[in-house]
Amino acid sequence: MDGILTGLNTAQRTAVTSEASVLQVLAPPGSGKTKTLTARVACFIAHRQLKPWNIIVCTFTVKAAREMQERIRGFVGDQVAKKLKIGTFHGIALRYLRQYGRHVGLGDNFGVADTTDSKAIVKRIIAQTQSELDPAATRSRISTQKSKGVSAEQFASTVSKNVEQRDFSQVFSLYQAQLKACNLLDYDDLLLVCVELLRSHPECVANVEALLVDEFQDTNGVQYELMSLLAQRRNVITIVGDPDQSIYGWRSAEIRNLGRMKEQWSDTLTVNLEENYRSSGAILHAAQKIIEQDESRPPKKLQATHSIGQRPVLRKLPQARHEADWLTSEIKRMRALTGNMLELSDFAVLLRSAALSRPIETSLGAAGMPYRMIGGMKFYDRVEVKMLLDYLRVIDQPSHNEALSRVINVPSRKVGDKTVEGLQREASRKGISLWTLILGFAQGRAKVTTNLNASAQRGVEQFVNVVLTLQKKLAAEPSGLYELFAQLHKMIGLQEYLKTKYPDDHETRWSNVEELMAMAIDAQVQANTESGREEEVDGPPTSEGAVDESALTAFLANAALAASIDEKTAGEGEKTHQVIISTIHAAKGLEWPVVFIPACYEGSIPHSRAEDNDEERRLLYVGMTRAQAMLYLSYPGKSTRQEDTTMSSFLEQPGVFSFFEEHGPSISHAEVQSLAVTLRRECPDAAAITASAASLDLHEDNYWPLTGEMPFTEASWQDGAHQNSTIPVFGNARSASWANNTIDLTEPGASGFGFTSVKDRFQNLMEEQEEKQTLKLDRLASKHQNGQGPKGKKRQIEGQGSIATFFGKKPKTTEALELATIETTELPVSLPPHARPLRDISNIDLPQVSWTQPQSKPTSLLAHKPRTAPLHKRQPTTCESVRQPVHGGGSFTSASVAVTVDHSNAPDTDANPRSRSVSTAPVALPPFKPPASLHTTSMQAVAARGPTLGMRRSMQGWSARGGKR
Ligand SMILES: Nc1ncnc2c1ncn2[C@@H]1O[C@H](COP(=O)(O)OP(=O)(O)OP(=O)(O)O)[C@@H](O)[C@H]1O
């Protein structure tokens, strides 16, 4: 027993060893529910002498079943673990039906109709009955009825005179009849027929000694019924669950099954686990703050076992692609500043919907960071995306035989596979491309020997016409990618095609098409601004031999680049270090050291089509609680479709903001050590951290303004303009208006810089403001020593506007910048030894998260010298690399310290003002191309230009201009 109970806390032990027949283990995320369930199975076998083949364990996914078997194997060995009946409800039901299905009239060789089969049957019936029902909606309605245990006959008996209801009832009945005729069961039937079997033949489960269910909150009515029947002989049932993580209501999951269970078995014992072993205290606080917005849920206690850690981040970025670039740069920064203690696979990007993955995949791909999708297909692998890219390839490069043969008959033009193969062979025999062959034929200039019937001939002609038309359009407007896309999808009737071919998920597929079009707009904008800049800049020409490529070629090369990163890593299995991209739904039950949840805007989460807002909130909660050490939430000011967004209403609630930082954390060596303790890893030494940090251009997350505007990249001034005490701010070197973007320099020291370079002048400005700030902080430091300092303010990072500005908060004076305490930390050798303010969150309105030990008090106070002026600067070139001081306060502090937090009467610290001496006007286009971003670059160009690619042109241009003026 000792082995099984080792490492479990008291509540977990109680649950594992409980003698209760019916046990509910209810607990928040990360409290070891799965661990407890596993240990209870082992306990049943090892100590209660239950036979493993008489124990059924139901999990929510096949993956979870595999993981659980793995864990149980650790306790009881491979041979015993193999004999357990572990699987999803569907898998368990299938086993019983295969064995005993004949008792309920199932043929010996019944088949299972998968989703595609079901869709096809429903569609055919609707066509036959000439009903006006939507096939996809009808299929999911049938499934909903079945998962509530309503059969076609039962539905028919309740139908009113309503035509639509009668139509539906008819289709439902015919669908069932069709399945029966084909000796098929669909997924819902597997459960329903198994229920029927176990009701009528309870002897089938007479041997079952114990039943255990994971993720019980997501069971639906039929699954509940099946659970009761499986355990009907001995009624030994253990379930683990968390009502706060119920995210499958849309699939008819019923939270009320928990109550039903207590009614059915009045002796049900409930054990609550309260200690969270996964996430840092700060992450738990923030997640609790979100979930507690649901006032209907009972208050729950939750204890963090880890230290407070880094406060989660809530960031606004200008657009979705900037959000993706920021996220990629944070992964890079976090890895470098932790001495690569964090692997790529320690980072997960969790999305409300799979379609949001496109900019993230593009950015990771461009940065050369391998990634893996779970719970969804990679963007570039999706059928509709591949198809469109193939069309574009043919338009760009008609001799691309493979791409051409893939799309010549999509949508169908009655050019069958055999015909295409014949044409391909003929072309190769004649030594010409497939395109040349069919072009000659379509234009009547050449004959083909391949046998083409009349409809195939017409099809070939239609295809040639599409390609020629679009080539002509492209020639007339080389950068008009979006328009090209628009005409392409109209010409091939793409939307209709998707509706017909994929009735169930055509909307999702269409949103992938829209994503690709959004990508085209990005590329178009980039191409336009590149060429605009070319004219504007009178510096030396760009890198010699640079490839003069069309916008379409560049676009396709970037797509290929992103996709090739996928391919390289695809076969390497789960062990390879890859960033994880997942839907939040598919991330249920999983955990990662660092989690990003981008696109936290209204319409995305809560989703515009979601019916239950509370479920959407729980979804966000599930996503947040997957994080162990760091959590980043973000949203773009504009979606990929260029629509203005507003932050998710779950984050807009009063008090929420105080649980978040406005930017990624500053990382000192002490914090790396603490992070290592939280993650139970070996901490890299200072030399390793220094070495990896040296690869970084920016040590702080201070490139993107906190206001969600475009970065302030470079300051310069116009000829003579400095005499008017203004300098232009090139927020965007490509399009910013010189006249409109100015910094007020009427402060002391602003004059007399006529012959200074832009960079020097900017540096001077920074230093002047540092001086002022140092004086203020010295004053504050002495106040602190006298115990007068206010508490609870979050740390600030230099050069950033406040997120409070988009909460509509009024900035306070610089005094308000003061930080609760400042602690000394050992910093990597290469980083300036700035003092680090430690956050004190004891006066925040905390949710119900409690701590078991008092937080260690910071002891020392150092003079702090942060900058106040913005450091939103352009990406430094190799020769201009500017080191950023590390400062700011987030700390992992002592790991495994648990703190008791009294949150009663705590003031809200939402306002997090900072004084900004410079206002950066928003600009239209990004001046920043992250080091890894290759958005307008073809792969050939990548090879040709070398590592400084993509930056050189702008840098030369601006420095040339700055030097002259
Ligand atoms: N007593 C314990 N001591 C140390 N670590 C523990 C303990 N119990 C659980 N853990 C660890 O906490 C993490 C979360 O555990 P587990 O996945 O079982 O939680 P869960 O309650 O099922 O979470 P979720 O509901 O989010 O899926 C795991 O890394 C697990 O190893």
Q: Which of 67, 188, 209, 214 is catalytic?
A: 214
Average pLDDT over residues 435-460: 93
Average pLDDT over residues 862-873: 31
98 and 203 share a domain? yes
Contact 674, 891 (CB under 8 A): yes
Domain that holds residue 225: 2-104+188-273
Looking at residue 59, its pLDDT comes to 86
| pLDDT at residue 915 is higher than 80 | no
Percent of the chain with pLDDT over 90: 30
**Number of CB atoms found within 10 A of residue 963's CB:** 10
pLDDT bucket at 712, cuts 50 / 70 / 90: low
| pLDDT at residue 871 is higher than 50 | no
**pLDDT tens, position by position, 329-347:** 999 999 999 999 999 999 9
**pLDDT tens, position by position, 899-912:** 222 233 333 333 33
**pLDDT tens, position by position, 286-324:** 999 998 888 777 777 778 888 888 899 999 999 999 999
Closest residue by CA, ligand 1 atom 15: 32
Q: Identify whether 427 is part of a domain.
A: yes
| pLDDT at residue 75 is higher than 80 | yes
Looking at residue 193, its pLDDT comes to 92
175 and 200 share a domain? no
Q: What is the H or E stretch that residue 237 is in?
A: strand 237-241
Three-class SS of residue 51? coil
Q: Identify whether 876 is part of a domain.
A: no
Q: Which of 215, 396, 614, 671 is catalytic?
A: 215
Average pLDDT over residues 581-608: 91
* Structure tokens given for 275: 């200690």
Q: Identify whether 892 is part of a domain.
A: no
**pLDDT tens, position by position, 760-783:** 433 444 454 455 444 544 444 444
Q: Identify whether 30 is part of a domain.
A: yes
Strand pairing class (347-351; 579-583): parallel
Looking at residue 533, its pLDDT comes to 35
Say whether 589 counts as a known binding-site residue. Answer: no
Q: Identify whether 704 is part of a domain.
A: no
The count of residues in the chain is 965
Which of 407-421, 889-903, 943-957 shows the highest mean pLDDT?
407-421
| pLDDT at residue 254 is higher than 90 | no
Looking at residue 457, its pLDDT comes to 94
pLDDT averaged over the chain? Answer: 71
DSSP bridge pairs for 241: 26
Looking at residue 199, its pLDDT comes to 95
Q: Where a domain ends, among 182, 216, 236?
A: 182
| pLDDT at residue 870 is higher than 80 | no
**Number of CB atoms found within 10 A of residue 397's CB:** 15
Looking at residue 724, its pLDDT comes to 34
Average pLDDT over residues 916-938: 29
Q: Which of 382, 302, 356, 329 is nearest to 901 (CA)?
A: 302
Give the dihedral of Cα atoms 834, 838, 844, 849; nearest 10 deg.
140
Contact 731, 712 (CB under 8 A): yes
Average pLDDT over residues 188-193: 89
Q: Which of 739, 710, 736 is nearest to 727 (CA)?
A: 739
pLDDT bucket at 196, cuts 50 / 70 / 90: very high
Q: What is the H or E stretch that residue 742 is in?
A: strand 742-744
Looking at residue 879, its pLDDT comes to 29
Say whether 29 counts as a known binding-site residue. Answer: yes
| pLDDT at residue 500 is higher than 60 | yes
Query: According to the 3-state scheme, what is the secondary structure of 615-628?
Result: HHHHHHHHHHCCEE
Q: Which of 356, 408, 389, 359 is nearest to 555 (CA)?
A: 389
Contact 637, 270 (CB under 8 A): no
**pLDDT tens, position by position, 950-964:** 222 222 222 222 333
Q: Report the complex ipTM.
A: 0.97
Closest residue by CA, ligand 1 atom 14: 30
600 and 661 share a domain? yes
Looking at residue 784, its pLDDT comes to 41
Average pLDDT over residues 244-265: 75
| pLDDT at residue 410 is higher than 60 | yes
Annotated catalytic, 793? no
Looking at residue 239, its pLDDT comes to 94
Contact 599, 636 (CB under 8 A): yes
Q: Is 827 exposed, middle or buried (0-12, 13-18, 19+ CB in 10 A)?
A: buried
Q: Identify whether 406 is part of a domain.
A: yes
Q: Which of 273, 268, 247, 267 is nearest to 258 (CA)?
A: 268
Closest residue by CA, ligand 1 atom 23: 30
* Structure tokens given for 717: 């001034």
Q: Residue 168 maps to which CATH number?
A: 1.10.10
Say whether 27 counts as a known binding-site residue. Answer: yes
Say whether 157 counts as a known binding-site residue. Answer: no
Say whether 31 counts as a known binding-site residue. Answer: yes
Q: Identify whether 98 is part of a domain.
A: yes
pLDDT bucket at 400, cuts 50 / 70 / 90: confident
| pLDDT at residue 442 is higher than 90 | yes
Closest residue by CA, ligand 1 atom 1: 8
Tell me the best of 68, 277, 303, 681 to mutate to test the pocket of ligand 1, counting ligand atoms within 8 Å of each CB and taking the most: 277
- Ligand 1: atom nearest CA of 27 is 21
Looking at residue 670, its pLDDT comes to 85
428 and 513 share a domain? yes
Asked if residue 593 has a cis previous peptide bond (ω within 30° of 0), the answer is no
Q: Where a domain ends, among 613, 648, 666?
A: 666
Looking at residue 190, its pLDDT comes to 87
- What is residue 399's DSSP assignment? T
Three-class SS of residue 502? coil
Looking at residue 629, its pLDDT comes to 94
| pLDDT at residue 365 is higher than 60 | yes
Tell me the best of 35, 279, 283 to mutate to test the pocket of ligand 1, counting ligand atoms within 8 Å of each CB and taking the most: 35
Q: Is 611 exposed, middle or buried (0-12, 13-18, 19+ CB in 10 A)?
A: exposed
**Euclidean distance between CA atoms 136 and 503, whole angstroms:** 5
Scanning 654-796, the segments in alpha helix (DSSP H) are 669-678, 686-693, 758-785
| pLDDT at residue 803 is higher than 60 | no
DSSP bridge pairs for 836: 823
Say whether 728 counts as a known binding-site residue. Answer: no
Q: How far is the CA of 275 from the centre of ligand 1 (A)?
A: 9
**Euclidean distance between CA atoms 622 and 373, whole angstroms:** 18
Annotated catalytic, 214? yes
Say whether 34 counts as a known binding-site residue. Answer: yes
Weakest mean pLDDT among 445-459, 505-519, 705-719, 931-945: 931-945
| Contacts of residue 797, Cβ cutoff 8 Å, sequence gap at least 6 | 662, 663, 666, 700, 701, 702, 887, 888
Closest residue by CA, ligand 1 atom 8: 32
* Structure tokens given for 938: 């073809």
Q: How far is the CA of 292 from the centre of ligand 1 (A)?
A: 22
| pLDDT at residue 17 is higher than 90 | yes
269 and 288 share a domain? no
Which of 238-252, 344-358, 453-467, 752-766 shows the highest mean pLDDT?
453-467
| pLDDT at residue 945 is higher than 90 | no
* Structure tokens given for 160: 């009113």
DSSP characters over 85-122: EEEEHHHHHHHHHHHHGGGGT--TT-EEE-HHHHHHHH
Average pLDDT over residues 810-816: 33
- Ligand 1: atom nearest CA of 588 is 27
Q: Which of 33, 119, 352, 378 is catalytic?
A: 33
The widest CA-to-CA distance across the chain, in whole angstroms, is: 96
Three-class SS of residue 405? helix
Closest residue by CA, ligand 1 atom 12: 277
| Contacts of residue 405, Cβ cutoff 8 Å, sequence gap at least 6 | 420, 424, 434
- Ligand 1: atom nearest CA of 626 is 26
The one-letter amino acid code at 381 reads D
In degrees, rounded to 5, the angle at the alpha carbon of residue 336 between the alpha carbons of residues 332 and 342 is 80
Annotated catalytic, 17? no
372 or 196, which is more confident?
A: 196
Looking at residue 907, its pLDDT comes to 32
Annotated catalytic, 245? yes
**Number of CB atoms found within 10 A of residue 164's CB:** 10
437 and 356 share a domain? no
Average pLDDT over residues 592-599: 96
266 and 292 share a domain? no
Scanning 280-410, the segments in alpha helix (DSSP H) are 281-291, 320-337, 357-366, 383-396, 401-407
Residue carrying structure tokens 């650790």: 74
DSSP bridge pairs for 185: 112
Q: Which of 69, 245, 625, 884 is catalytic?
A: 245
Distances (CA, A) of 653 to 206, 284, 288, 621, 729: 53, 17, 13, 15, 35
400 and 291 share a domain? no
Tell me the best of 8, 24, 278 to mutate to test the pocket of ligand 1, counting ligand atoms within 8 Å of each CB and taking the most: 278
Structural domain count of the chain: 4
Q: How far is the CA of 541 from the centre of ligand 1 (A)?
A: 58
Looking at residue 465, its pLDDT comes to 96
Q: Identify whether 937 is part of a domain.
A: no
Weakest mean pLDDT among 100-109, 480-489, 528-537: 528-537
| Contacts of residue 479, Cβ cutoff 8 Å, sequence gap at least 6 | 524, 527, 528, 531, 550, 551
23 and 49 share a domain? yes
In degrees, rounded to 5, the angle at the alpha carbon of residue 469 between the alpha carbons of residues 465 and 475 is 145
513 and 365 share a domain? no
Q: How far is the CA of 213 from the centre of ligand 1 (A)?
A: 16
Ramachandran angles phi, psi of 415, nearest 5°:
-105, 95
**Number of CB atoms found within 10 A of residue 519's CB:** 26
pLDDT bucket at 109, cuts 50 / 70 / 90: low
pLDDT bucket at 422, cuts 50 / 70 / 90: very high
Average pLDDT over residues 16-23: 94
Q: How far is the CA of 234 from the centre of ligand 1 (A)?
A: 29
Average pLDDT over residues 408-423: 92
Annotated catalytic, 34? yes
848 or 491, which is more confident?
A: 491
Percent of the chain with pLDDT over 70: 66
173 and 196 share a domain? no
Q: How far is the CA of 32 from the centre of ligand 1 (A)?
A: 3
Please list every protein residue whose CB sits less than 6 Å from any atom of ligand 1: 7-9, 12, 27, 29-35, 242, 245, 277-278, 589, 591, 625
Query: According to the 3-state scheme, what is the secondary structure of 172-235?
Result: HHHHHHHHHHCCEEEHHHHHHHHHHHHHHCHHHHCCCCEEEECCHHHCEHHHHHHHHHHCCCCC
Q: Which of 12, 14, 24, 34 is catalytic?
A: 34
**Euclidean distance between CA atoms 584 and 618, whole angstroms:** 10
Contact 764, 751 (CB under 8 A): no
413 or 568, which is more confident?
A: 413
Q: Where a domain ends, among 182, 201, 220?
A: 182
Average pLDDT over residues 499-510: 82
495 and 405 share a domain? yes
Closest residue by CA, ligand 1 atom 18: 32
Strand pairing class (836-838; 821-823): antiparallel
Closest residue by CA, ligand 1 atom 2: 8
* Structure tokens given for 263: 């009614």
**Euclidean distance between CA atoms 147 and 191, whole angstroms:** 8
Q: Residue 432 maps to which CATH number?
A: 1.10.486.10
Looking at residue 959, its pLDDT comes to 27
Q: Residue 371 maps to which CATH number?
A: 3.40.50.300
712 or 496, which is more confident?
A: 496
The one-letter amino acid code at 592 reads W
Looking at residue 250, its pLDDT comes to 57
**Euclidean distance between CA atoms 543 and 255, whole angstroms:** 63
Q: How far is the CA of 31 from the centre of ligand 1 (A)?
A: 5
Q: How far is the CA of 35 from the centre of ligand 1 (A)?
A: 6
